[in-house]
Amino acid sequence: MNFSDFIKKYAAHPHYKAPTGTALHAKSWQTEAPLRMLLNNLDAQVAENPAELVVYGGTGQAARNVDAVEKIIKNLLELDEDHSLLVQSGKPVGIVRSHPMAPRVLIANSNLVPQWATWDHFNKLKENGLMMYGQMTAGSWIYIGTQGILQGTYETFVACGEKYFNGDLRGKLLVTGGLGGMGGAQPLAATMAGATFLGVDVDPERIKKRLETRYIDKMTTSYEEARDVSLAAKEKGEAVSIGLVADIGDTLEKLLADGIIPDILTDQTSAHDPINGYIPNGLTLAEAAELRTKSPKEYETRALKSMARHVGFMLELQKHGSRTFDYGNNLREFARQGGEINAFDFPGFVPEYIRPLFCEGKGPFRWAALSGDPEDIYTTDHTLIEAFPENKHMIRWLQEAQKKIAFQGLPCRICWLGLGEREKAGLLLNDLVKSGKIKAPIVIGRDHLDCGSVASPNRETEGMRDGSDAVSYWPLLNLMANAGGGATWISFHHGGGVGIGYSQHAGMVVLADGSDRAARCLSRVLYNDPALGIMRHSDAGYEKALKMGETFGVKIK
C-alpha cells in the first residue's frame, strides 16, 4: 500500500483508525507499533475531538496539525532500525542515526525554559503554530481511552474507603465534577469500589460518551432527579452512577442548601487550563466559546473566580464531614489565584492515598493488542491471573475489568503492578507473542503519572518528606534510563494534567514482538522504570521504598 492509499484508508482527517491484523505497513513492528498507537489515539472511539487532534484534557493533542500527522505517518512508514524519529511538540523535526535497540521515536512536548513557562507564553506560541499541549499520554501516543486512568481512580477510591470507611464504600455517596477523557473514569471506578456516584459536567456530550462506553449508568439534566436517585441508591447501598448536566459549583451549592453532605468529594474538571479547559460559572458552552475567542483575559478571570467559588463550596462541605481531596487537576492553585486563600486546606490524592503504592514501585502498567482482536487481551488477562496467584487484588481487578470495561479503539488493558511484577508480566506477554498464543505484538506502556517519572508539586510530588517536591531531575533520569534500556519510544513533557509551569514528566512504551531482542529490552526497561520510583522515594527518606530497594537489589548510593 502506498502512502496516499494509507492516508485515505487510515488517516483521512478527521477519520483516524489504527490498522489491525498481522500485516506490516511499516518496515518493522518497532515502527508499526507507534504508527498504530498514534492513529488509535486519534480514533473517534478514543479521542475527545479528532477534528482538532485533541485526545483528552480539553487541549491535549496527539500531533500539532494535520500536516504534521501525515509527515509523522510518512516517516514511520519509511523508518528503519538504524534511525530514530525526533518529534517536537507534535511535529516531526528530524531523523538521527541510532541502532536496533534504541528508541525508534523520541518525543518532547510543550517544554519551555522556566522563566517563560506560563500559559500566556505557551498560548502565543500555539497561536503561531509553534507548539501544542501534549498532556501526558495524548502526545506520547499511549492513551487507551478512559480505561487508562480507571484503575488508578479505582485504587484511589478503594484507598479512601480503607482509610476512612472501614474498607466498605457501600452506602457512601461520592460526588465530583468533570466527566471528560480523564474524569470519565470516575463513575465506573466508584461503582466498582462499591460507592454510589454523582458526577457533574456542563457538557452533555461528555456524559453521553460515558453512557455509550458503559462507564456511567444514568444521565439527567435535572438536579432534583439526580439528587433523589443518588440518595435512594445510597440508602439501599447500591453501586449506581448518575451523570448530571450542570455546573459543578451550582450543584455543590444546592447540595449544601439541601443539607446533603457527600461522604467523598473530589473533582476532575479541566481546571489545569483556565482558558481552554474550565467553563466559568454562568456561561453556556456556546457563550464560553464566544468569550474565549473575543476576550481570553476576561475568560481567564471569570474562570479563576469560578474555581475559587467552586473550591469554597468544597471547603464548606469538608467542614461538614465530606472526605475532600484534589484529584490532580491543579484546581486548588487556580482557586487560590481566583481569591480562595484557603484552597490548599484539603489534600491532593497522591499524598493522601497513592504514595504508599509509589514507594513499592507500583503504578499504571498498560498494554495494547496491535492485532485489534479482543481475544488477545483476554488471553493476556488469563496469563497474568495464572502467573500472580498471590496478587488477589490484581486478579479481582482483571476479572471485573473483563465484565465491565468496553474497549475503545484497539483492545487494551491496564493494571497496577510494582517492581518485579512489571518485568515478569512483560516477559510473559512477549512469550505469548513468540508462541503464537496471541496473533500480533503487544505494546506495553504506562501513564506518565507513575512512581518515578514525574515532578509535580501540586500532584505526584506534593508534600514529599524531604521537601523535594519541585525537584525535576527524576523524570529526566527516568527518560534517560528508559532510552538506555531500549524502550521503543519515549517522551518528555511539560504541564500534564496540572498545566504549564507546574509539572515535568516522562513516558515510555516498549514493544513485545516475541523476539529475543524484545525480551532483553523488556527486561531492562520494565526493571529500570519502576526502580526509578524506588530510588526517588528512597532518596526522599521513605522507609517502605528503602525496604523495597533492598528486596529487589535496587542500587541506591
Active site residues: 415
Distance CA 61, CA 132 (A): 7
**In one letter, which amino acid is 211?**
L
CA distances from 517 to 8, 178, 184, 514 (A): 34, 43, 38, 8
Alpha-helical segments (H) within 237-347: 248-257, 285-294, 296-319, 331-337
Distance CA 218, CA 316 (A): 28
Distance CA 355, CA 469 (A): 13
**In one letter, which amino acid is 150?**
L
Number of residues assigned to the chain: 557
Whether 77 and 25 have beta carbons less than 8 Å apart is answered as yes
Distance CA 152, CA 164 (A): 18
Pairing of strands 15-16, 264-265: unpaired
3-state secondary structure of 111: coil
Q: How many helices (H) and strands (E) does the chain have?
A: 20, 19
3-state secondary structure of 454: strand
Sheet of 196-201, strand order: 218-220, 241-245, 196-201, 173-177, 264-265, 323-324
Whether 452 and 476 have beta carbons less than 8 Å apart is answered as no
Count of beta carbons in the 10 Å neighbourhood of residue 1: 13
Distance CA 31, CA 39 (A): 13
